Amino acid sequence: MIVPIRCFTCGSLIADKWEPFITRVSAGEDPGKVLDDLGVRRYCCRRMLISHVDIIKEVINYTRPI
């Protein structure tokens, strides 16, 4: 849903890398090379970005008004 701020395993900051990552991968670059360029070396952090599914725009339609 929302990009996690920190890696669940090691606690490293990853949210600041989401926008450059998704922009470059959408442009056709290899995700592994993009993560290397962004300085994401640990495999736990890499899986946080690679496996994230951004569905907040779909879920927000089903929330109840307060």
pLDDT for res 1: 61
- pTM beyond 0.85: the answer is no
pLDDT for res 40: 95
The answer to whether the annotation marks 30 as part of a ligand binding site is no
For the chain, give the secondary structure using H, E and C.
Answer: CCCCCECCCCCCECHHHHHHHHHHHHCCCCHHHHHHHHCCCCHHHHHHHHCCCCCHHHHHHHCCCC
**pLDDT tens across 7-21, in order?**
999 999 999 999 999
The answer to whether the annotation marks 23 as part of a ligand binding site is no
Q: Are 25 and 53 in contact (CB under 8 A)?
A: no
The answer to whether the annotation marks 44 as part of a ligand binding site is yes
How many C-beta atoms surround the C-beta of residue 31 within 10 A?
14
How many C-beta atoms surround the C-beta of residue 52 within 10 A?
16
The answer to whether the annotation marks 33 as part of a ligand binding site is no
Mean pLDDT of 23-30: 95
- Where do the domains of the chain lie, and which CATH numbers do they carry? 15-60 (1.10.10.60)
Residue 66 confidence (pLDDT) above 80: no
